[in-house]
Amino acid sequence: MKHIAILGSSGSIGTQALEVVEAHPDEFCVEVLTVNSNAELLIAQAKKFKPNAVVIVDESKYQLVKDALQNDMIKVFAGEAALEQIVQMDSINIVLTALVGYAGLKPTIAAIKAKKMIALANKETLVVAGKLITQLAQENGVNIYPVDSEHSAIFQCLAGEWENKIEKIYLTASGGPFLGKDVEFLKSVKKEQALKHPNWTMGAKITIDSATLMNKGLEVIEAKWLFNLKAEQVEVIVHPQSIIHSLVQFEDGSMKAQMGLPDMKLPIQYALGYPQRLKSIFPRFDFTKYPQLTFSQPDTKTFRNLALAYDAMRLCGNMPCVMNAANEIAVDAFLHDKIGFIEITKLIENSMNSITHIKNPSLNDYIETDKESRIKALEMLG
């Protein structure tokens, strides 16, 4: 029985993780649930799954949650600091980090220092501070199991191949809702259009990232750290059907691909259940319904966020942190109708050109870079 802490249980990954837990009551139990501000859903989840403790980051809703759970013998905590403290509980075996954006960094660090296994759905943690996170994991003997479908695919392809050298990996991208569109079209894109992903059901932020190809850029940087690769060993290929989730090419030229219908519950279950493959009732892929699987190169001239991510990865240091912070500000501004779709890229690029590059940053440097980048991006918004 694995005792799980789910950080971000109200989001897309968190709610699907609870479905996986519910389907395997003999394998998993919920030890901790945390949300940012959705008190009503947290209360409902807590009453159903009976965790040891819950955290509501929005302190103004602490009393609401505490009162609702007072007869359920569930401890209730509030605030950002509580996230870092709660993951250190002795009873936790594995921490699923499903928080959105930079918010996942400090709790993940705290969990690693507490020697908890990590199921990582928060790609920004490795984007912002990949070198620091991987070093900490190594020092503490902690395994990081990827939850992103693409990285889970690579991880599955590498099973039994740990001693064989990787020549290259291919991360597949659906291309998002605007595949094949030009800059003129993108100038008039509205958020309602950008939020309609053709294959995946995700939260608003990651859906916009997918539309701009920034999500794939973040995944490229995450892959570098997860699998100890160089920039030239990570390639993105557009695959609109989202059936092949990613591929590994070995130095003998042989390739392995992981395939399946686009359903995040499978990589969640694989990460939580590893090394077991647990039985599931997920829909099965039918080859006859997909007579063609197509592939093409990404259009990085139109969707420049992917090119910016490669630039940030090559510069390394604090530059991916700058890029991530600016992107979070830009996406939020777009979702609130403050900027247009193509202005997202401009804001990120201008931020990357405005912040001092630090080659070997400390944790404090990352924290200060994130803060400075957000301030600079907000100033650019006017």
Give the end of a domain, one of 146, 171, 199.
146
In sequence order, which residues have a C-beta less than 8 Å from that of residue 24 and are 6 or more positions away?
269, 273, 278
Q: What is the pLDDT of residues 255-285, one digit of tens each?
A: 999 999 999 999 999 999 999 999 999 999 9
- Do 166 and 271 share a structural domain? yes
Task: Using only the alpha carbons of the chain, give its radius of gyration.
Answer: 20
Burial 208-221 (b: 16+ CB within 10 A, else e): bbbbbbbbbbbbbb
- Do 7 and 112 share a structural domain? yes
Give the end of a domain, one of 93, 116, 146.
146
Q: What is the pLDDT of residues 90-144, one digit of tens each?
A: 999 999 999 988 889 999 999 999 999 999 999 999 999 999 999 999 999 999 9
Q: What is the pLDDT of residues 333-374, one digit of tens each?
A: 999 999 999 999 999 999 999 999 999 999 999 999 999 999
Specify the higher pLDDT residue, 28 or 103: 28
pLDDT of residue 225: 97
- Do 119 and 170 share a structural domain? no
The whole-chain average pLDDT of the chain stands at 96
Q: What is the pLDDT of residues 135-175, one digit of tens each?
A: 999 999 999 999 999 999 999 999 999 999 999 999 999 99
Average pLDDT over residues 46-70: 98
pLDDT of residue 198: 79
Asked if residues 325 and 368 have their Cβ atoms less than 8 Å apart, the reply is no
Q: Domain total for the chain? A: 3
Whole-angstrom Cα distance, residue 18 to residue 345?
35
pLDDT of residue 6: 98
- Asked if pLDDT for residue 201 goes beyond 80, the answer is no
Full residue range of the structural domain in which residue 333 is found: 317-382
The percent of residues above 90 in pLDDT, for the chain, comes to 96
- Do 259 and 172 share a structural domain? yes
- Do 231 and 216 share a structural domain? yes
CATH number at residue 358: 1.10.1740.10
Please identify which residue in the block is written with the tokens 């605007």: 178
- Do 183 and 125 share a structural domain? no
pLDDT of residue 84: 96
One-letter amino acid at 375 equals I
Asked if residue 45 is part of any domain, the answer here is yes
- Asked if pLDDT for residue 382 goes beyond 90, the answer is no
- Do 301 and 341 share a structural domain? no
Asked if residue 136 is part of any domain, the answer here is yes
How would residue 17 be classed by pLDDT, with cut points 50, 70 and 90?
very high
Average pLDDT over residues 70-83: 96
Between vectors from CA 309 to CA 226 and to CA 324, what angle results, nearest 5°? 85
Asked if residue 312 is part of any domain, the answer here is no
pLDDT of residue 197: 83
Asked if residue 89 is part of any domain, the answer here is yes
- Do 372 and 226 share a structural domain? no
Beta bridge partners of 54: 33, 76
pLDDT of residue 217: 97
Give the end of a domain, one of 246, 272, 307.
307
- Asked if pLDDT for residue 200 goes beyond 80, the answer is no
